[in-house]
Amino acid sequence: MLRITFTILAIVASTITLFTVNSIGINEWWKYIPMAGLILISLILWIAIPSSKRNRKPKTSDSEAQALNEEESLADLGILDIRPVDSDKSPADSEELLSDQKTQDAAADAPGVVQLSLLTETPQPSPGDTPTPYVPNNPLDKHILVPILQGFRAVLDAHAVGIIRPISDDYEYEVCGTAGFDWIRSRGESFVLKYNLLEESESVAIHPVGSQGLQSNHLTYSRKPASITYIGVASIGETDKLLIVDTITKSGLSHPRAKELLENLGQTLALLLYREDPNRPRHEIIYEEMMTARAEDKDLVFALVVPQRSETLAKMYGDFLDDIEKTFSDCLLRVDPNSRVIKFGELLYGVFKNCQKDALADWHHKVQSEIANQGGLLTGGAFIGAVAMTNEHQTADHLRDDAKRALIKAYEGPAETVII
């Protein structure tokens, strides 16, 4: 608009000057300055400023902008979006792929043959990558756990409060954290109680200590077991850990609402310490599992799992996607309740297992069988890309990238599960 305005002014000034050129003397050259100045400005504007067409950016619709924002936010969290490989390849590529897989396809199509592929290649970290020195908060860290347990101790008027975890069928328990002065077993140590504190059908229980209940000489975690009168136990959500409380007064835990209060405290502890944050960056979760496995000298396998009909489910049953994802994650947890199942994207879940690579073949069979038994919209099984952690995996990105690579190979087929 500015260029057009100055161009018109230059044309008008030039016209006026030409009509009056006979009346302008040779000493009145300055009267040509307005015309020359407008022409010069017009030329500068036309040459120096690029055309609006060349400078114009493609417009994006509101829906596209929202989708881009969502993709950026998911990428920040480490949430993946893995889709099947596009089918629109060149004829040469398609023929080469078919010729390479004829033998594999024939074997996979044979009845009773499970499509399981084990890759033996060793993952290599990318050149120049350096480990990220991130150390996430552990919910059982002393500075987090002790104040919470001390608060519970005050609410229940208890002698000692702790978190324990059963580690054997002989009623052996590992101490995860304590509050009180009477524990002689510190965190990480264990004791045998010779008594089942909580039945599978129970969420809370209160046991008297003495001839009518627990024997005091079995309470080997306490400095003064003879002084304990009651022990209360509550489950901590869906975890395998228990909240244990003991008292040394005759009235301790004898209140009619003691069970209700103890159960609520167990649920509160589960929310405070063990609830997964849906917005927590996924690389933090992966790194946490890697560091925990190495600290405890355990094997770690990370698998990405997605229903085979994920594209159809997302497009045709979008209104029921939350229910489908809940059913899918429940299937994965039923196969191995001790595994950690985290959402990594739409209908895409990450599974952390403390096991060796050799055990994954059996886990693969169980996952496919569990999904087949579930039926419904999940009919068709799942694609699985798994990687066993090695010393080469120094960062969370190394482990995740190998799992992504394995899942993409499972998409390409013919194997349903690819393990690196």
Q: What is the pLDDT of residues 332-345, one digit of tens each?
A: 988 888 888 888 88
Dihedral-angle region of residue 171 (phi above 0 means left; psi in -120 to 50 means alpha; beta otherwise): left
CA 165, 167, 170, 175 torsion-angle sign? negative
pLDDT at 385: 93
Indicate the pLDDT class of residue 66, thresholds 50, 70 and 90. Answer: low
The residue with greater pLDDT, 144 or 414, is 414
Indicate the pLDDT class of residue 143, thresholds 50, 70 and 90. Answer: low
Please give the structure tokens belonging to residue 419: 């393990």
Asked if pLDDT for residue 122 goes beyond 60, the answer is no
Asked if pLDDT for residue 159 goes beyond 70, the answer is yes
Spatial contact of 177 and 149, defined as CB atoms under 8 Å apart: yes
Give per-residue burial for 252-284: e unless 16+ CB within 10 Å, then b: bbeeeebbebbbebbbbbbeebeeeeeeebbbb
Average model confidence (pLDDT) across the chain: 73
Nearest C-alpha neighbor of 357 from the set 295, 299, 291, 401: 299
Spatial contact of 197 and 244, defined as CB atoms under 8 Å apart: yes
pLDDT digits (tens, 9 = 90+) for 377-402: 787 889 999 999 999 999 999 999 99
Q: What value does the mean pLDDT take over residues 107-128? A: 41
pLDDT digits (tens, 9 = 90+) for 84-117: 444 444 444 434 433 444 444 443 443 333 344 4
Asked if pLDDT for residue 299 goes beyond 90, the answer is yes
pLDDT digits (tens, 9 = 90+) for 182-191: 777 777 787 8
The residue with greater pLDDT, 77 or 120, is 77
Least confident of 267-281, 296-310, 355-369, 375-389: 267-281
Asked if pLDDT for residue 207 goes beyond 70, the answer is yes
Domain boundaries, the chain: 2-55, 102-130+279-419, 142-273
Percent of the chain exceeding pLDDT 70 equals 67
Tell me the three-class secondary structure of 79-111, residue by residue.
Answer: CCCCCCCCCCCCHHHHHHHHHHHHHHHHHHHCC
pLDDT at 86: 43
Q: Which CATH class is domain 102-130+279-419?
A: alpha beta
Please give the structure tokens belonging to residue 223: 């400095």
Asked if pLDDT for residue 303 goes beyond 90, the answer is yes
pLDDT digits (tens, 9 = 90+) for 235-272: 887 777 889 888 888 777 777 788 888 888 888 887 77
Q: Give the number of other CB atoms < 10 A from CB of residue 27.
A: 6
Q: Give the number of other CB atoms < 10 A from CB of residue 97.
A: 13
Asked if pLDDT for residue 161 goes beyond 50, the answer is yes
Distance CA 244, CA 175 (A): 10
State the DSSP code for 376: G
pLDDT at 26: 55
pLDDT at 144: 65
pLDDT at 81: 46
Indicate the pLDDT class of residue 286, thresholds 50, 70 and 90. Answer: very high
Nearest C-alpha neighbor of 270 from the set 127, 401, 163: 163
Spatial contact of 280 and 52, defined as CB atoms under 8 Å apart: no
Percent of the chain exceeding pLDDT 90 equals 14
Long-range contacts of 97-102 (CB under 8 A, 24+ apart): 101/413, 101/414
Spatial contact of 355 and 299, defined as CB atoms under 8 Å apart: yes
- The amino acid that residue 272 corresponds to is L
State the DSSP code for 222: B
The residue with greater pLDDT, 419 or 337, is 419
pLDDT at 53: 45
To which CATH superfamily is domain 142-273 assigned? GAF domain (3.30.450.40)
Asked if pLDDT for residue 197 goes beyond 80, the answer is yes
Distance CA 71, CA 65 (A): 10
Distance CA 289, CA 405 (A): 20
CA 204, 209, 213, 214 torsion-angle sign? positive
Give per-residue burial for 359-389: e unless 16+ CB within 10 Å, then b: ebeebbeebbebbeeeeebbebbbbbbbbbb
Spatial contact of 190 and 170, defined as CB atoms under 8 Å apart: no
CA angle 320, 321, 322 (to 5 degrees): 95
Distance CA 280, CA 378 (A): 27
Same fold, 102-130+279-419 and 142-273: no
pLDDT at 387: 94
Most confident of 22-36, 142-156, 202-216: 202-216
Asked if pLDDT for residue 15 goes beyond 60, the answer is yes
pLDDT at 305: 93
The residue with greater pLDDT, 181 or 51, is 181
Distance CA 161, CA 397 (A): 39
Spatial contact of 253 and 206, defined as CB atoms under 8 Å apart: yes
Indicate the pLDDT class of residue 155, thresholds 50, 70 and 90. Answer: confident
